[in-house]
Structure 1
Amino acid sequence: MKSAPTPRVPGATLIRTGAIALCIASLAGCSTIKGWFGGKDDKNTEPAKLTDIISTATVSEIWSADAGKGEGLLGARQGPVVADGRVYAAAVEGGVHAFDLQTGQTVWSHESELQLSGGPGAGDGLVAIGSLDGDVIALDAATGAEKWRAKVGNEIIAAPAIGMGMVFVRSNDGRVTAFDAASGERRWFWNHEVPTLSVRGNDAPVLGPGFLFVGNDDGTVSALSAQDGRPLWDQAIAQQEGRTELDRMADVDGSPVLEDTTLYATSFKGQTMAINAPTGQPMWLSENGGPGQVAVAPSVVVVTEPGDTVFGLDKAGGSALWQQPALARRNLTAPAIHGSYAVVGDYDGYLHWLDLGTGEFAARARAGGDALRATPVVADGILVVQDIDGELSAFRLGQ
């Protein structure tokens, strides 16, 4: 059964009602409630079965490593980050680890008594991460030694963003807090109201020249001044429309993607937008989208819809170039770009490489045996993914 997205109440990790929890956690993306509790439509809620494919790409696993006890059913989409030839990863129980990107060898490990619920962020010689209790810790990227700690008022399940002398932390109550990267002193904070019901999860803020871009649970993207948190513009990716709170869920839960001066963002409501980043003006709007991050290639923008159809959108205008529906209800991750392919992971630990030109399957591999929820990360031609049990797997495309 599909297990995401999971809705949450602002400031809490639990669902408001058992009925809504069952609806979203197990069956999100279904267009009807018919058959949810048994009956002739049960097959319509089952994950699509994998069929044999003709591989046109060669994929090999080059290493695997263990980051500790993973997120399990937490819904945090806890994943790694790559910087300066190292993979930084954390687990809810197991601390923070640095691995060599090429070999998977452990460079350092930092033990922690905290439940580290978000993925780490890395940059400017720091690795920063948040906890279920709102703790923020900053480590020396070279050695893993702790440099400072800070606190926010709610759980953190998004990776911090680091740059311009600050660490930017998005907490689950809609607040962004900026800390001085050297001392951990709070520099500013910004609040954005969270709807009564929203999809469980959020993602890291994105840095641009003088800007901080934040995806919000009400379907908007906000641009802030990175120096002082001053709001610069807001743009709705999707409208909160519908008769019920469930219908109105429009979260922008994946990090927006900035390429040059264009910002790409997608919504759980099923819409994707290209935005002029300096002004906030829309450039195009597509009626295909989903709760995770977009993947941006030279001519294609790839999105995973809530029902787990993968779409390739024309980068210039947003029209659908292709779709791949064969992974329906397999609880797919957001896509990543790996060479000439889009890659998504699923609830059974499989990775699927799709041709960027056609959406056809090119390769498949299994990363451990547990569900993949975090977006795969690609650096120096290597794809790294983390499963919900805390296991990391690295893959390389063959010649």
Structure 2
Amino acid sequence: MRLSPVVVLLSALLAVQLSGCASQPANQAEAADTADETGLPDYNDETDISIEWRKQLGVGAGTAYTRLRPVVSGDTVFMADTSGEVYALDLADGSEQWNVDLEQPVTAGVAQDNGQLFVATRDGFLHCLNSADGSEIWRSRMTSESVAPAGTDAKRVFVHTVDGRVTAFERADGKQAWSYETAMPVLTVRGTGTPLVLDQLVITGFATGKLVALDKTLGIPRWDVRLATPDGRSELERLVDVDGAPIWDNGIIYAASYHGKLAAVSLNGETRWEEEGSTYTSPELALGNLYLTLDSDHIQSYDMASGAPVWTQKALHGRRLGQTSAYGSWLAVADGEGYLHIMNQVDGELVGRKLLRPKPLHVNYPNQTEGTNWRALRGRDMGIRSPLVATDKGLLVYTNAGELLLLSVQTD
């Protein structure tokens, strides 16, 4: 049985928060928005955050623990929804170019490379689509469900499934090239990372707390590094999953684990440095630093050369933060209440904030001014779990309620 503490906490909090929602007149709805500021930290308002466009895509992930994210190729955004639809949108204005229905809930995607899209569905299939029109090129059965986008190279696509396997498929026809399996602990955090595909290696982390490098051609392990060691009396205390995707820069791999560490590892498996840093997410690299959302909801900055801590931002503690994303000279992170927070990369100072609440339905009440039907939002998750995606047109944000937004962030 898989158990995610994050999912349990989200469900409980949402049940409490949404139980009191009802249809309200406009002035009361405005008060509800203002009330959401309670408990938020002060910040220096140095940025202007504006919504360039927003588009509803299906029903969203809601409380289901998926982290679907948009991917950009040229002027096109590709996005999949949990309902099974895959979309191609114009990055400039959000207009739809095409959409297809896979008729199964999507659990992972979208990965894009050289005219092909790769999406995983709940029934255990990997779908390869033509990025020009969404037509299916092939589909192949995986060993289990996948909840992270695939990794790719020119010939193959690599998928990490929740049963602890990494499988390579031929891009030409979807045939399996090899499969690597590792033993799984009794209890794991629901999630895996996207495999990092290099010239000769495929690198990914497992629920055992290990980072493993596989031979890209044969699928056999070349080396492994332990990022976390199971410790504690209960299975929950012994969770050591590596759920974030490793990243690579200038010959060094950076990866982090839950109940473990952030480490810099060379291509031959030698650990250059390691620092404490328990997380569910991937590190972000910018301006010579690594940025990591810790499971304590603190943002930690590390020097990429030595691993030495640079700064810590603790003001967002308890807000169920997602993965950090570098955008210009800023660092962006979204939370479980639907807020986007902007920080300065240099010192972590909070310099901007915007609430990205899903659009409610507007109705006219008898003998009252126009109001907002907040009941239409009942049962919808207001948060943002998917990683933010920086583009040359702005910052793409996909909410748990199924809205995709393009934001511009400028100096105020």
1:209-248 residue pairs with structure 2 within 5 A? 209-248=199-238
Corresponding residue of 1:285: 274
Corresponding residue of 2:67: 77
Corresponding residue of 1:43: none
Corresponding residue of 1:311: 300
Bigger shift: residues 239-248 or 180-189: 239-248
Structure 2 residue ranges without an equivalent (≥5): 12-36, 359-381
- The sequence identity of aligned pairs, in percent, is 31
1:226-375 residue pairs with structure 2 within 5 A? 226-276=216-266, 278-369=267-358, 370-375=382-387
Query: Whole-Å Cα distance in 2 between the matches of residues 102 and 381 of structure 1?
Result: 7
Query: Whole-Å Cα distance in 2 between the matches of residues 27 and 138 of structure 1?
Result: 32
1:379: how far off?
A: 2.3
Amino acid at match of 2:275: S
Corresponding residue of 2:113: 123
Distance 1:166 1:260, change over 3 A: same
Corresponding residue of 1:201: 191
What's the TM-score once normalised by structure 1's chain length?
Answer: 0.86
**Regions of 4+ moved over 4 Å:** 21-24
Distance 1:270 1:381, change over 3 A: farther
- Asked if structure 2 preserves the Cα contact closer than 8 Å seen for 1:381 and 1:397, the reply is no
The one-character-per-residue Cα deviations of 1:361-391 (angstroms, maximum 9, x if unpaired) are 0111233342111111112252112111221
1:29-178 residue pairs with structure 2 within 5 A? 49-178=39-168
Corresponding residue of 1:377: 389
1:200: how far off?
A: 1.4
1:148: how far off?
A: 0.5
Amino acid at match of 2:76: R
Query: Whole-Å Cα distance in 1 between the matches of residues 315 and 188 of structure 2?
Result: 27
1:48: how far off?
A: 8.5
1:315: how far off?
A: 1.4
SS in 1 for 2:109: coil
Matched, 1:26 2:6: no
**Number of aligned pairs?**
363
The one-character-per-residue Cα deviations of 1:289-320 (angstroms, maximum 9, x if unpaired) are 41101111122111111110111111111121
Query: Whole-Å Cα distance in 2 between the matches of residues 366 and 147 of structure 1?
Result: 40
| Structure 1 counterpart of 2:398, from 373, 386, 392 | 386
Amino acid at match of 2:8: A
Amino acid at match of 1:283: R
Corresponding residue of 1:31: none
Bigger shift: residues 216-225 or 82-91: 82-91
Distance 1:84 1:182, change over 3 A: farther
Structure 1 residue ranges without an equivalent (≥5): 1-8, 16-20, 29-46
Query: Whole-Å Cα distance in 2 between the matches of residues 161 and 236 of structure 1?
Result: 22
The one-character-per-residue Cα deviations of 1:181-201 (angstroms, maximum 9, x if unpaired) are 111111111112221111111
Query: Whole-Å Cα distance in 2 between the matches of residues 212 and 381 of structure 1?
Result: 31
Bigger shift: residues 360-369 or 309-318: 360-369
What's the TM-score once normalised by structure 2's chain length?
Answer: 0.84
- Asked if structure 1 preserves the Cα contact closer than 8 Å seen for 2:207 and 2:241, the reply is yes
- Asked if structure 2 preserves the Cα contact closer than 8 Å seen for 1:90 and 1:116, the reply is yes
1:105: how far off?
A: 1.6
Query: Whole-Å Cα distance in 2 between the matches of residues 87 and 71 of structure 1?
Result: 18
Q: Which has the larger radius of gyration?
A: 2
Distance 1:22 1:283, change over 3 A: closer
Corresponding residue of 2:365: none
Amino acid at match of 1:394: L
1:203: how far off?
A: 2.0
1:352: how far off?
A: 0.8
Bigger shift: residues 280-289 or 51-60: 51-60
Query: Whole-Å Cα distance in 2 between the matches of residues 80 and 367 of structure 1?
Result: 17
